[in-house]
Structure 1
Amino acid sequence: MRKQSDRRSVLQVELREFDPVGNAQLHAIRAAAQAIKAARRTVVVSSGSGTGPAHVLGYLGTIMGCDIQLALGSSTGQAAQVARLQEGDCLVVLNIWRLTRAIRGLARVGRERGATVCVLTDLRSSPLADDAHHLIATPIEGIQAGPSLTAMVAAVQAILAEMADDDSARVRRRPEGVERPRPHGRPALGRVFRIAPSHRPTWR
């Protein structure tokens, strides 16, 4: 019982730390969503703890029909992907806790290449602001020893919600193959598993 109470208090503290209602934050979230929707392609770069929210943005954004590529590997691989950006593309940078020289350089290169740079960071005064067209600041303070990702994941979900509200056919279109039966009787994504009266597992 005590562990459950402790977990509840952790969540309450983390939720209090994130105030998504600020006008500046809302403007930045909407602008970032619009930049990703309008881009021919979007590259998402991060390292360390930031790769978690980056995966959320990349996976769900791709399902919405956007061309989103994750660059979360080596600095060399990240640099190669960012170097291919040009005007009309978008670069999303997620940074938590420690800003590496590599991430700082990638943001600068993206800006120089003409891409729209969207930054999600835990510091409003982050050096990344110098190269960001849109900056979303999310706190990472919690009662645990490490950084809390609650606020940044919430900001990513807010961006995705803005993208889903768009009326364009590209974002509204359900991706090809989702919820469509696969060959050899394999269920498509989204099928519900149930136990039939015959006690044999079936899919519907």
Structure 2
Amino acid sequence: MSTRSGPSGQTDRPAIVLVRGDITAQDADVIVNAANSSLLGGGGVDGAIHRKGGPAILDACRTLRAGHYGGGLPTGQAVATTAGNLAARWVVHTVGPVHSTQEDRSALLASCYRESLRVAAALGAETVAFPAISTGIYGWPMGDGARIAVRTVRQEATAPVREVRFVLFDQAAYEIFAEALAADGTTPR
């Protein structure tokens, strides 16, 4: 199941596409990984990408850790590696914030999407597939996460990116992202 949409009256902005499915199965220039700061794999989306992508992704992440990211990737930042065995050309790793009711971390979540798009554009990527960053084990409420994701992608995605996909694992997440698109004033095209 997928839905394609674009902003009303705008043709210069990338399309936003909702897909219900497995992000590791996406044939896109970039798949975004909701990584942990170690970059060495983990659970959820991160573990699935590392498992299906194979050892080339882990080797590239180890190289990053041995260099500029010795202390790990900071929350809200993004970095690219090979996609290994995935259908994508690259994996862009970003570390989402853990949700807090005591502190507003929404700027860090928005930064994950913004920085991932910046890295993807620098690579020349035309298609980018995102998971719902931080909405799993990091506890971010899906509705708020969808609102931040849609708003940030709408504001930040520029050429050469022509399509941004939100790949959502279940129907409930898909419907919440569809509502966020509708609330953002997006109309199907």
TM tier, shorter chain?
A: 0.3 to 0.5
Greater RCO (CA < 8 Å, at least 6 residues apart): 2
Which of these two proteins has the greater Rg computed from alpha carbons? 1
TM-score, structure 1 as length reference: 0.35
Q: TM-score scaled to structure 2, two decimals?
A: 0.37
More strand by share: 2
